[in-house]
Amino acid sequence: MSAAYVSTRGEAPKLGFTDAMLAGLARDGGLYVPEVWPTFSFAEMSDFAGRSYADIAEAVIAPYAGDSISREDLRAMIDEAYETFRHPAVTPLVQTGPNRFILELSHGPTLAFKDVAMQLLARMMDHALAERGQRTTIVGATSGDTGGAAIDAFRGRDRADVFILMPWGKVSEVQRRQMTTATEDNVHAIAIDGSFDDAQALVKAMFNDHAFRDRLALGGVNSINWARVLAQVVYYFVAAVALGAPRRTIDFVVPTGNFGDVFAGYVAKRMGLTIGKLVIATNINDILARTLETGRYEVRGVQPTTSPSMDIQVSSNFERLIFDACGRDSGIVRGAMGSLAQSGSFELNRRTLGAIRREFLAGRADEAEVADTIDRVRRETGYLIDPHTAVAYAVADSVELDPATPTVVLSTAHPGKFPDAVEAASSVRPDLPPHLSELLELPEKLVRLPNDLVAVQAFIEANARIVRGEAA
């Protein structure tokens, strides 16, 4: 049986796994979540010890996919996706102190944790589209990493055209070039005059324009797509089991922007994984840390930082958490999201806030703390971290965690993606791995558009093959 997926806003049809994956955003503007969380027993999780990344990925993903993908096909796609990684463990752990570990998530093709999900998602979407004889037009927003990972995973795929919106001038040069140097006709990098939040709002507006959505068969690869989050659940199991789960409890500290990554940790916990605290680590764009402190989610202007991928105020996946934490009352979610749209804020009720605080801690790191942390970790351990990882590392040092519990800091990007910030902090200029050594020399292809829905839709209509009627 395929698991059923429901929208957080309760007004869209229930879908199976493949339909939810191809839909991206639900038609009522909500996000799909599984109707029930599959769980593992203690014995099943104990059996993960010593198994490969691919084995654990198959075990974690299969209950969500049900019979919508055969087990053989799922395994073949998992194997192929993680063969693109430069480390045999896919997401290895490195110890940097007593009970302190870094989970390296940047061994994929574009050097960010997004590859973990995107390499698999592209294969699963392609597989589903081929079975159905369909094509899709993917629209995505990026603050730097999702776009590059999506373009790498989908470039040259015949059934998908990909349009990525990035905020003009607000991503690193390496991140921009990872999007603008792809030569394939099916990928399009678009810079819009605005912030990531503006780009994400445009993407959601395109999904909520049902005529446009249906005409172009829109698909999404941001973490609004449930399958993106699902693929990220896997590495929580892999890391925790390597450190002794389920016999031990493990804490995770997660650099957070759109809340997809840390929500994946929450899902792992709901599935039975012995996670103690999930720590939300933000840079100075600290809406989530403020919300946990006060119970009020309040959007303020975004400030540019050295961790640009986390320069986010409207944190999409928080909606999934509210839905679960409030007892799956879609009326509460609709109320909160309506208030957010109207006034830029909403209040969490006591029960919801209490449920969130039981699972999560939160902290912020300012720019000086991020730079100090990059420098200190390199001097003390010889290990060079990127600014996003440094946000989490600094927060891990500032929040109250049990020193007897292993703490895993998620390292979400390679320092070579942010050479200027890392060099300024540590006097060490990180290199890019050899497969990207020519990136800075390649010609770029980038379209600049105003932050305007009509202009963006017109560009996509003019360039999507589905509108031109080209058969897949």
Ligand X SMILES: Cc1ncc(COP(=O)(O)O)c(C=O)c1O
Ligand Y SMILES: N[C@@H](CCOP(=O)(O)O)C(=O)O
User: In angstroms, rounded to a whole number, what is the distance separating the alpha carbons of residues 250 and 277?
Assistant: 8
User: In angstroms, rounded to a whole number, what is the distance separating the alpha carbons of residues 365 and 47?
Assistant: 38
Residue from the set 91, 136, 180, 223 that interacts with ligand Y by CB under 6 A: 223
Bridge partners, 304 (sequence order) = none
By the rule CB under 6 A, 145 interacts with ligand Y: yes
By the rule CB under 6 A, 310 interacts with ligand X: yes
Stretch near ligand Y under the rule CB under 6 A, chosen from 26-34, 136-144, 289-297, 452-460: 136-144
Q: What minimum distance in Å lies between the beta carbon of 111 and ligand X?
A: 9
By the rule CB under 6 A, 258 interacts with ligand Y: yes
By the rule CB under 6 A, 265 interacts with ligand Y: no
Residue from the set 3, 112, 230, 374 that interacts with ligand X by CB under 6 A: 112
Closest CA to 386 of 89, 112, 167: 112
Closest CA to 123 of 61, 35, 55, 200: 61
Q: Distances in Å between the alpha carbon of 76 and those of 50, 55, 117, 160?
A: 20, 11, 15, 20
By the rule CB under 6 A, 223 interacts with ligand X: yes
User: Cα 232 to chain center, whole Å?
Assistant: 8
Contact 278, 265 (CB under 8 A): yes
Stretch near ligand Y under the rule CB under 6 A, chosen from 47-55, 90-98, 179-187, 257-265: 257-265
Q: For tokens 């839909």, what's the residue? A: 23
Element (H, E) at 407: strand 407-411
Residue from the set 413, 422, 464, 466 that interacts with ligand X by CB under 6 A: 413
Contact 192, 450 (CB under 8 A): yes
**Known active-site residue 114:** yes
By the rule CB under 6 A, 412 interacts with ligand X: yes
Contact partner, 388, from ligand X, ligand Y, none, Cβ < 5-8 Å per class: ligand X
By the rule CB under 6 A, 309 interacts with ligand X: yes
User: In angstroms, rounded to a whole number, what is the distance separating the alpha carbons of residues 210 and 217?
Assistant: 10
Contact partner, 222, from ligand X, ligand Y, none, Cβ < 5-8 Å per class: ligand Y
Task: Between 108 and 406, name the residue whose CB sits nearer to ligand Y.
Answer: 108
Instruction: Tell me how many residues contact ligand X (CB under 6 A).
Output: 17
Query: Rule CB under 6 A: which residues touch ligand Y?
Result: 142-147, 222-223, 257-258, 260, 309, 316
Catalytic machinery residues: 114
